[in-house]
Amino acid sequence: MLEIQNISVNYNKSGKPAVENFSLAVKQGEICCLVGESGSGKTSVIRAVMGNLPGQGRIAQGDIFFEGESLLSYTANDWRNVYGTEISMIFQDSGAMLNPIRTIGSQFVEYIRAHRAYSRKDAWEKGVKMLEYACLPDGEHIMKSYPFQLSGGMKQRVGIAFAMAFKPKLLLADEPTSALDITMQAQMVRQMMKLREEYGTSIIMITHNLALAAYMSDHIVVMKDGKIADSGNRDHILHNSQAEYTKKLLSAVPSLGGYYYV
């Protein structure tokens, strides 16, 4: 479904690439987790896939193919046709994407109708349904609320509801559960897994939580300084990796009574 071929991402012409020679292939229904310390280039990778690099960010080399077609050849209209429906993204701080002076409902209805020919009433009902799917009780109340009336975790779940609204083929998730408490994390992980099971959605997720990566993923990529430091299935990364950086990451996982819960 998705093939990233040897890409490098630069934010300034003379500086060191933020991502260098990165390659990854993701099959339909596969979940891949990118792990590594902050600044290792994880977010730049998924923003490159989404065609959403900030500032002067650009793909300096390589190519990205989605269902056999190069994303680098996409026009603005092509991107509009795939955003939200074919490829969707959950941002690390979903609250920042919301307009602070408009209700959640007005934004959600506009988003839904921009992608599908829904009436306002049907779009509203779909918005309520998706908010409740994202574990927000009383979707009607949330739709009538402004962003400042919601907690950080609630706004994060609103962002997750937006991203999942059209059951995308590829879901890009930038630390989607970091703003949630442990109970909500578990619920949202189950919902994401359900999306994969029911609709064959492929997921690329960034996380610092190795236990979460081990639970969810078919494939784990360890990044350091913009490069791939290690890559493999969960058993390889957790139990058989010979990469020193991977060993250091695993040794940093808190233990309880001498046991590591990953």
Q: Domain spanning 2-95+168-260: which CATH class is it, in words? A: alpha beta
What are the pLDDT tens digits along the chain (262 aa)?
999 999 999 998 777 899 999 999 999 999 999 998 888 999 999 999 999 898 889 999 999 999 999 999 999 999 988 998 999 999 888 888 899 999 999 999 999 999 999 999 999 999 999 999 888 889 999 999 999 999 988 998 899 899 999 999 999 999 887 777 788 788 888 888 888 888 889 999 998 888 788 888 999 999 999 999 999 998 898 888 888 988 888 887 765 555 554 5
Question: Per-domain residue ranges for the chain?
Answer: 2-95+168-260
**Residue 254: predicted pLDDT:** 65
**Residue 2: predicted pLDDT:** 96
**Residue 257: predicted pLDDT:** 52
What angle, rounded to 10 degrees, do the helices at 152-164 and 182-199 form?
0
pTM for this model (two decimals): 0.88
- Decide: 226 and 41 in contact? Cβ < 8 Å: yes
Question: Strand runs (DSSP E) across the chain, as ranges?
Answer: 2-10, 19-26, 31-35, 58-66, 69-70, 87-90, 170-174, 202-206, 219-224, 227-232, 255-256, 259-260
**Residue 255: predicted pLDDT:** 58
What token pair was written down for 15? 């500086």
